[in-house]
Amino acid sequence: MDAPVRYNAATTFVDEPLARGWGSRVAFYYRDRRVTYREFAELTNRTGNVLRDLGVEMEQRVMLLLYDSPEFACSFFGAIKIGAVAVPVSTVLRSSEYAYYLNDSRARVLIVHEPLLSEIEPIRDRTPYLRHIVVVPASAPSAATAARDLPWDRVLGRASPSLEPAPTASDDAAFWLYTSGSTGPPKGVVHLQRDMLYCADTTARDVFGFRPDDVAFSVSKLNFAYGLGNALYFPLRFGAAAVHYPDRPTPEAVFEIIHEYRPTLVFTVPTMYARLLQVDDVGRYDLSSVRTYASSGEPLPAAIFHRWQARFGAAILDVVGSTENLHDFLANRPGFLRPGSSGVPVPGYQCRIVDEAGRDLGPGHIGHLLVRGGSTAPYYWNKREVTQRTMLGEWLRTGDMFRKDEDGFYWYCGRDDDMLKVGGLWVSPHEVENALLEHGAVLEVAVTGAPDEHGLVKPKAYVVPNDGHPPSPALAQELQAFVKNRIAPYKYPRWIEFVDELPKTATGKIQRFRLRSAAEETR
């Protein structure tokens, strides 16, 4: 699966589909548009030529502040094709966060959807590296935008539709992805030209079984590692299509998209599956097209798996990956899954569970998960010390605690800084959360450590209750007793705090470090 020494990822995902005769196939469904592979290649070439005309050179960064759309796809690969570095960022952030990304990456060009420009206006004088802003209209461009910045339609219209890929090496940087911030400030993860090809020819092929007649719909957005694979380079590798949905995905909207576009592969996160199960009138949606449902971002609780299967007659494949690895390295597969587990290593990846000294642990023991594979990022941008702690030669220290059972299935136990020691014994917050989720009153939950009156750490649960279950001291006591009857009693949450929502990243990951900080501040 090694790419040649001289390699540009755009040859695989933009040019080769045309050479294979896929030009007239639909690559992307976007609102009422159907963009073919041939149209996508032409848009990509025009975008690359626009960037080159703006003075962007090899290895310089181009930031993408774009909704899921064909414009995202061609901007991403247009930058890569000229040897520049694409830097997608989330569309739900605020001005100060964009200032950090622009200055940290030193991006020369920003390509932005017009409705998001309002977050850039206040920071223009704080981004010294930024030279040009190209504005993609949501509908018709405004006069103010056209006067100040570069209108997308105009600059693309006069650019050439032909473009030869830059002579990059397979080990050249192709794009960055910033970590989601579930464990602290975002870090720029550098990925190479070869990495997408490796993930496509392992995870996409061997786990999800992508094929030319597939239509993929990813609720997780393209600016994150999970969505980038699901709805961009995975389908492009196999001649399939993807649905690009630019808006905020409500549960009803997800069902409507499945009903309208008939995807065969659906990707989202556990939180969304929990929300989808709350929708009552699902009978009006035709979901029969879906062959595979997949979940990532956080471990899928067994309770949600069983509720989904009972209601829709379909299994959910829980898979585990990371921004540093680009996509999944552990996965359940059709016909080979275990509810509540993270599955087994994806072909092409190796996993180890080790103790604090780096010694391998046998089945049943909780330890640090290390991963080795061909898509692991070589470093974090401008983060030397964190790089040294995380990228251990060929092995990536994931920061996750796992155990492996006798059959080779891996079970998530929590982040290494989430694990609790109660009375001298390890407690996995994830195990306590899973127990609580089996109770019908619990919609979502996060468990962290909190100090008792003696300063000793004990489990505390933050619970978002289901509709029809108002918070009360009686419900809290019921939940505590419920946990004691399902797992070892010493693991039960000493406190239960009912909340309206849990702090999360844009990808849906629970930010437990914020809950821990709040608990420490109340000491």
Tens-level pLDDT at each residue, the chain (523 residues): 667 899 999 999 999 999 999 999 999 999 999 999 999 999 999 999 999 999 999 999 999 999 999 999 999 999 999 999 999 999 988 898 899 999 999 999 999 999 999 999 999 999 999 999 999 997 655 554 545 699 999 999 999 999 999 999 999 999 999 986 555 578 999 999 999 999 999 999 999 999 999 999 999 999 999 999 999 999 999 999 999 999 999 999 999 999 999 999 999 998 899 899 999 999 999 999 999 999 998 889 898 999 999 999 999 999 999 999 999 999 999 989 999 999 999 999 999 999 989 999 999 998 999 999 999 999 999 999 999 999 999 999 998 999 999 999 999 988 777 777 676 666 888 889 989 999 999 999 999 888 877 677 889 999 999 999 999 999 999 999 999 988 878 889 999 999 999 988 776 777 877 887 665 555 4
Query: CA-CA distance, 173 to 313, in Å (whole number)?
Result: 43
Residue appearing with tokens 């090694």: 2
Are the C-beta atoms of 170 and 194 separated by less than 8 Å? Answer: yes
Three-state secondary-structure class, residue 282: helix
Angle, alpha carbons 151-224-57 (nearest 5°) = 50
Query: CA-CA distance, 333 to 319, in Å (whole number)?
Result: 9
Which residues, including other chains, have CB under 8 Å from residue 70's CB and lie 6 or more apart?
27, 28, 30, 33, 35, 40, 43, 244
Three-state secondary-structure class, residue 222: coil
Cα distances (Å, whole numbers) of residue 433 to 34, 43, 302, 359: 42, 46, 11, 29
Select from 208, 216, 443, 413 the least CA-distant residue to 307. 443
Query: CA-CA distance, 22 to 485, in Å (whole number)?
Result: 57
Cα distances (Å, whole numbers) of residue 83 to 7, 10, 52, 78, 304: 10, 10, 10, 9, 43
Helix 473-484, helix 429-437: angle, nearest 10: 110
Q: Do domains 37-188 and 420-521 have the same CATH topology?
A: no
Q: Residue type for 516, please?
A: R
Give the DSSP H or E segment for 462. Answer: strand 457-465
Are the C-beta atoms of 369 and 352 separated by less than 8 Å? Answer: yes
**Domain range annotation of the chain:** 37-188, 195-415, 420-521
Architecture of the CATH domain 37-188: 3-Layer(aba) Sandwich (3.40)
329-332 long-range contacts (CB < 8 A, ≥24 apart) are 329/371, 329/373, 330/410, 331/203, 331/207
Using the CB atoms, write b or e for 73-107: b if 16+ within 10 Å: bbbbbbbbbbbbbbbbbbbebeeebbbbbbebbbb
Radius of gyration (Cα) for the chain, nearest Å?
23
Domain 195-415 has CATH 3.40.50.12780: yes
3-state DSSP percent of the chain in helix, strand and coil, to 5: 35, 25, 40
C-alpha distance across the termini of the chain, in Å? 53
Question: What is the tally of helices (H) and strands (E) in the chain?
Answer: 17, 26
H-only helix segments in 234-323: 234-238, 251-261, 270-276, 302-312
Residue appearing with tokens 């275990």: 338
Query: CA-CA distance, 188 to 323, in Å (whole number)?
Result: 10
Are the C-beta atoms of 358 and 364 separated by less than 8 Å? Answer: no
Q: 232 exposed, middle or buried (CB, 10 Å; 0-12, 13-18, 19+)?
A: buried
Which residues, including other chains, have CB under 8 Å from residue 397's CB and lie 6 or more apart?
368, 370, 389, 390, 391
What does the CA dihedral 454, 502, 285, 280 come to, rounded to 10 degrees? 60
Pair of tokens at residue 400: 């996750």
Are the C-beta atoms of 437 and 304 separated by less than 8 Å? Answer: yes
Q: What is the pLDDT of residue 191?
A: 98
CATH number of this structure's domain 420-521, picked from the four choices 3.30.830.10, 3.30.429.10, 3.40.630.30, 3.30.300.30:
3.30.300.30
Which residues, including other chains, have CB under 8 Å from residue 455's CB and lie 6 or more apart?
none
Three-state secondary-structure class, residue 437: helix
Per-residue pLDDT of 273-299, as tens digits, reads 989 999 999 999 999 999 999 999 888
Query: CA-CA distance, 200 to 178, in Å (whole number)?
Result: 20
Which residues, including other chains, have CB under 8 Å from residue 117's CB and lie 6 or more apart?
133, 135, 145, 149
Q: What is the pLDDT of residue 507?
A: 67
Query: CA-CA distance, 165 to 286, in Å (whole number)?
Result: 42
Q: What is the pLDDT of residue 241?
A: 98
Are the C-beta atoms of 203 and 38 separated by less than 8 Å? Answer: no
Report DSSP state, residue 185.
S
Query: CA-CA distance, 28 to 37, in Å (whole number)?
Result: 8
Give the DSSP H or E segment for 27. Answer: strand 26-30
State the greatest distance between any 2 C-alpha atoms of the chain, in Å, as a whole number.
Answer: 71
Query: CA-CA distance, 14 to 5, in Å (whole number)?
Result: 19
Which residues, including other chains, have CB under 8 Å from residue 522's CB and lie 6 or more apart?
none
